[in-house]
C-alpha cells in the first residue's frame, strides 16, 4: 500500500574506508569501501504522504530537524517524487535506537531507511539497488546500510550516477564482533564530508591513498571470504591508519585522535602481541576506537578496553541484516 511506509535500517562500520570523492556533485567515492552492518544500531523511519503540506517536514527523535538537516532529506524526496510522478509532500519521522552515545554516526542508517521508506510510501516497487543509489547520493556510507552482513561500495566513475552498494556475504557468514570503545560524549568533530574534502584538496598523500585503496579493499574481501582474521584485520588497520595519516597531513590538519584513542589502540595491540588474542582496530571521523574480534574473545576484549584509561564505556555489535520494511 502506498501513502505511508516504515523501514528499519542499521549503521555500518567500514573495514575498508571510503574517504575522498571522485565526483563531488554526484557524491561518488574515489575508493572502494567494504563494511559490516551492525545489528544493534537501528534507525526507524516512517514516511507519510500528506496532501495538505506545501513542503516536506522532517522530525528527528521527536523534534523538528533544522533546515540544514532537512536539505538532504528533501533532495532525496524530490528525486523519488519525480520517479513516482507524484507531487505530494511528505512528513518524515526518524528515530534512532542506538546504544547511548555510541559514537557511531546515524546518518548511514538514517538515509538508508529514508530511501527505502520513501520509495514504498510513494508506491514504487521494492528495489534495493535503486534505494542504495538514492542513499549514496545523500551520504555514500548510507548506500551500504541497505544490505546486511558484509557489503561493498565500489569506487565511482566521475559522471556515472548509477553507483550502488552490493552484499558480499550475509550476516551469518562469520561470527565477528565489533567492540566500540567510547572516548567522548557527543563532542563535534570535523565532519567526514569536510574532512575528506580537505584531504583531497590539500593532503600530499591523497594520490597514494587513491592508488593503494583498491589493494587494501581486495585483501579485506579475501580475508572475509577465507575467514582469515589476521588477513582481514591487518588490512582493516592499514585502511584506517592510511586514512588518518592522510587527514592529519592535510592543511589545516585534521586530527580525530584523543589521548583515550591512543590508549585504546595500545590495548588492542597489547591484547594481540602479548596475549595472542585476534583483535584489530579501526577508527572513523571521531576519537572512538572500534575493535574487531571473534565472538569467543569479545567479553575479554570488551572488559580490557573498558578498563583502559580514557575509555568511558564499551558497546558490542554483531553483524546485522539489511533494511526491513514494517
The residue from 121, 284, 289, 322 that contacts ligand DP6 (CB under 6 A) is 284
Task: Determine if 130 is a binding residue for ligand DP6 (CB under 6 A).
Answer: no
Q: Which is nearer to ligand DP6, 42 or 200 (CB)?
A: 200
321 CB-near residues (< 8 Å, 6+ apart)? 10, 37, 39, 148, 149, 171
Residue 294 β-bridge partners? 176
Alpha helices, DSSP H, located in 145-258:
192-202, 206-226, 229-248
Query: Which span sits near ligand DP6 by CB under 6 A: 73-81, 83-91, 123-131, 135-143?
Result: 135-143
Tell me the closest approach of the beta carbon of residue 122 to ligand DP6, in angstroms: 23
The residue from 192, 199, 203, 236 that contacts ligand DP6 (CB under 6 A) is 192
The residue from 6, 22, 33, 46 that contacts ligand DP6 (CB under 6 A) is 33
Tell me the closest approach of the beta carbon of residue 233 to ligand DP6, in angstroms: 17
Cα distances (angstroms) measured from residue 137 to each of 21, 73, 316, 323:
12, 11, 29, 17
Task: Determine if 141 is a binding residue for ligand DP6 (CB under 6 A).
Answer: yes
The residue from 8, 9, 18, 317 that contacts ligand DP6 (CB under 6 A) is 18
The residue from 4, 173, 193, 313 that contacts ligand DP6 (CB under 6 A) is 193
E strand intervals along the chain: 4-16, 21-23, 28-29, 33-49, 57-60, 63-64, 90-97, 150-153, 166-169, 176-182, 279-282, 289-294, 313-317, 324-325
Tell me the closest approach of the beta carbon of residue 289 to ligand DP6, in angstroms: 13
Q: How many chain residues interact with ligand DP6 (CB under 6 A)?
A: 14
At 175, list the grid cell.
561470527
Q: What is the rounded end-to-end Cα distance, in angstroms, of the chain?
A: 12
At 10, list the grid cell.
542499521
At 159, list the grid cell.
559522471
Task: Determine if 92 is a binding residue for ligand DP6 (CB under 6 A).
Answer: no
Q: Which is nearer to ligand DP6, 283 or 305 (CB)?
A: 283
The residue from 10, 17, 221, 288 that contacts ligand DP6 (CB under 6 A) is 17
The residue from 94, 139, 267, 314 that contacts ligand DP6 (CB under 6 A) is 139
Residue 54 exposure: Cα atoms within 13 Å on the Cβ side = 0
- Residues near ligand DP6 (CB under 6 A): 14, 17-19, 27, 33, 107, 139-141, 192-193, 284-285
Amino acid at each position: 500500500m502506498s501513502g505511508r511506509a516504515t523501514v528499519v535500517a542499521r549503521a555500518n562500520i567500514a573495514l575498508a574506508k571510503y574517504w575522498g570523492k571522485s565526483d563531488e556533485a554526484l557524491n561518488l567515492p574515489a575508493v572502494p569501501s567494504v563494511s559490516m552492518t551492525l545489528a544493534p544500531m537501528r534507525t526507524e523511519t516512517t514516511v507519510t504522504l500528506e496532501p495538505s503540506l506545501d513542503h516536506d517536514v522532517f522530525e528527528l527523535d521527536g523534534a523538528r530537524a533544522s533546515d540544514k538537516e532537512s536539505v538532504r532529506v528533501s533532495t532525496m524526496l524530490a528525486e523519488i517524487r519525480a520517479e513516482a510522478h507524484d507531487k505530494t509532500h511528505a512528513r518524515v519521522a526518524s528515530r534512532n535506537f542506538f546504544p547511548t552515545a555510541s559514537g557511531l554516526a546515524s546518518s548511514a542508517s538514517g538515509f538508508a531507511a529514508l530511501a527505502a521508506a520513501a520509495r514504498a510510501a510513494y508506491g514504487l516497487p521494492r528495489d534495493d539497488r535503486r534505494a542504495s543509489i538514492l542513499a549514496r547520493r545523500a551520504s555514500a556510507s548510507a548506500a551500504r546500510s541497505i544490505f546486511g552482513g558484509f557489503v561493498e561500495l565500489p569506487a565511482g566513475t566521475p559522471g556515472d550516477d548509477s553507483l550502488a552498494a552490493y552484499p558480499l556475504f550475509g550476516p551469518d557468514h562469520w561470527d565477528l564482533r565489533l567492540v566500540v570503545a567510547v572516548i567522548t560524549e557527543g563532542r563535534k568533530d570535523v565532519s567526514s564530508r569536510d574532512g575528506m574534502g580537505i584531504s583531497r584538496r590539500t593532503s600530499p598523500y591523497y594520490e597514494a591513498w587513491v592508488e593503494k585503496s583498491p589493494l587494501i579493499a581486495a585483501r579485506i574481501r579475501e580475508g572475509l571470504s577465507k575467514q582469515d582474521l589476521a588477513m582481514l584485520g591487518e588490512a582493516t588497520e592499514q585502511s584506517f591508519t592510511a586514512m588518518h595519516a592522510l587527514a592529519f597531513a592535510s592543511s589545516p590538519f585534521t586530527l580525530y585522535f584523543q589521548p583515550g584513542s591512543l590508549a585504546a589502540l595500545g590495548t588492542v595491540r597489547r591484547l594481540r602481541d602479548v596475549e595472542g588474542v585476534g583483535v584489530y582496530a579501526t577508527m572513523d571521523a571521531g576519537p572512538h576506537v572500534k575493535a574487531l574480534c571473534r565472538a569467543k574473545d569479545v567479553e575479554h576484549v570488551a572488559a580490557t578496553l573498558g578498563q583502559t584509561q580514557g575509555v568511558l564505556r564499551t558497546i558490542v555489535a554483531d553483524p546485522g541484516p539489511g533494511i526491513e520494511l514494517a
